[in-house]
Amino acid sequence: MTATMTVEAPWLLFGGKLLFDPVSRALLASTLVIWGLAAWSAARTLPADERRPGHFGFFGLVMGGNLIATVAGDPVTFFLGYALLGLCTYPLIAYDRTASTLDSARLYLVYMLIGEGLLLAALVLSWSPPGGGTFPLHLDARWLALLVLGGLGVKAGIPGLHSWMPAAYRATPSAAASALAGATISVAILGTMRLGLFLPDTGVPSAAWVLLGTAGTLFGVVRGLTRSEPEHVLAYSSVSQMGIAITVLGARLTGGTSDAAVLLAVTAFLVHHGLAKGSLFLGVGLVRDGTLARLPRAVVLGGLGIPALALAGLPLSSGSLAKTGLAEATHLVDYLEPFLVVSSAATMMLMLHFLETVVAPTEPSPRRAHVSAAVGPWAASVVSVLLAVWLWPDFRPMARTALRPENMVHALWGPSIGALIWLAVTRTLRRGRRGPAGPSWVERGARVLTARWEGWLGRYRETRPALRQLPTSARRSLRHAAVDFEGAVGSLDRYVGTWTLTGTLFLILLLALSRLL
């Protein structure tokens, strides 16, 4: 199954093109699974009130945008899907209509609109009329790469552009959040691959991408460890996981790797991440509405633990397939091997922290009244995490490699190190403490470690009120400037409005013209 198929739709916009290659095929399938499970869960959990039809309407639109962007074969079609997905997500986040959800949704939308503006500029820049260009586009300038990065980085949550993510995932009902966090985020990385962001033509050195990706990977984990809301932890985990994808894609520039193999491995990674993250969000939804409290603890831990540990890349999990794939595809880049081990260890710590936050009693959610029967979709999602990537035909070679004994042993390293560190740290620091109240140990440790980060990036919580003031004050000064100008124009209006002046002016003008003629 390596054949590539394109479907042309010349009537659509400036000539639409759909591309079905191993990359889009796998993502299309996983996207459908994630959205299908999310829809199943939403149908079971959302109360039958007046918001329900609208929620499902936009649910469908976002899914449609997601699917279009996934199989898009040219920049315009991709933008069509991406913009649809980006805009229609707002009502999903704003579902509750409370002030804080509306705030989260607005924060999201502002980021997304700026991102889409940048992306639009980049796509127009790289479009070749008429008939539309084909992928991959060859970007020829670093600043063009910057536009694409800014445009898609918002959705992928690269550090600095990620601030909307935790708030948005917390505000969105869990079913929709599982689709947003699982499926839509992959579109951003897919877009960077399709648009050739990580090609030598951009003139951006490999090291820049690797640094950016590594920063994202570590930043996500460290910030996630300081949070106690499960949705926030998962959001930071996404920041971290997308960092891994960026690092690998950037490292490919160093040479010695096969493009097709790297792209396929990154695809497997996105599929694995999407399914696991989607499943975790469905699980968090069940924690929030109190359903999991009624299930046996082993079931709960198993159901949440399987996707969580898959993200860390435990042997036999989907993560081990994805990470072995990444390592295999980039085996000539020597620093990636230790990077992947470290990232696995870090993810393991974050996931253990996540499990701790969900198993610890959380505040009851406002949606608690509608106790769900959404265990079905959640269970199905866990099964999909267990099996999907192993069964997908295009990933077979990676599966065989991952199942080799030496690779399975190798895959144990990262998670074991992570687990040991986490256990050691929590044990030591927790000794002598009474009661579960207060931030966990790891949280406090990580806070100390991240003080520096907090200084310029992570402090957004503290600076947000000020930032929120900023648009208001900027708007105010803009308004003053515009009013002043308008005032000046208005007084001009009044002068022009007096016929005497106008008449005189025309007389002078006519005299002057008669001289010229």
The site for other proteins (CB under 8 A) is made up of: 9-16, 50, 76, 79-80, 83-84, 87, 91, 94, 97, 102, 106, 109, 113-114, 117-118, 120-121, 124-125, 127, 129-130, 475, 478-479, 481-483, 485-486, 489-490, 492-493, 496-497, 499, 502, 506, 509-510, 513, 516-517
Separation CA 331–CA 334 (nearest Å): 7
Q: How far is the CB of 14 from other proteins (least distance, A)?
A: 6
Please report, for the chain, how many H helices and E strands are present, in that order. 21, 2
| Cβ proximity to other proteins, 102 vs 316, nearer residue | 102
Picking from 323, 357, 344, the residue whose alpha carbon sits closest to that of residue 217 is 344
Q: How far is the CB of 23 from other proteins (least distance, A)?
A: 23
| Cβ proximity to other proteins, 94 vs 137, nearer residue | 94
Q: How far is the CB of 110 from other proteins (least distance, A)?
A: 9
Q: How far is the CB of 366 from other proteins (least distance, A)?
A: 16
Between the CA of residue 395 and those of 85, 228, 275, 388, 399, what are the distances in Å? 28, 36, 15, 10, 6
Q: Is the peptide bond before 307 cis (omega within 30 degrees of 0)?
A: no
| Cβ proximity to other proteins, 35 vs 82, nearer residue | 82
Q: DSSP states of 406-429 as a string?
A: HHHHHHHHHHHHHHHHHHHHHHHH
Q: How far is the CB of 515 from other proteins (least distance, A)?
A: 12
Q: DSSP states of 294-340 as a string?
A: GS-HHHHHHHHHHHHHHHHT-TTSHHHHHHHHHHHHTTTSTTHHHHH
CA 450, 452, 457, 458: dihedral to nearest 10 degrees? 30
| Cβ proximity to other proteins, 86 vs 415, nearer residue | 86
Q: How far is the CB of 122 from other proteins (least distance, A)?
A: 10
Q: How far is the CB of 464 from other proteins (least distance, A)?
A: 19
One-letter identity of residue 135? F
Cite the DSSP H helix spans in 72-205: 75-93, 99-125, 142-156, 164-171, 174-179, 185-194
| Cβ proximity to other proteins, 80 vs 312, nearer residue | 80
3-state secondary structure of 367: helix
Separation CA 262–CA 267 (nearest Å): 8
| Cβ proximity to other proteins, 117 vs 438, nearer residue | 117
| Cβ proximity to other proteins, 52 vs 444, nearer residue | 52
Q: What token pair was written down for 72?
A: 């898009």
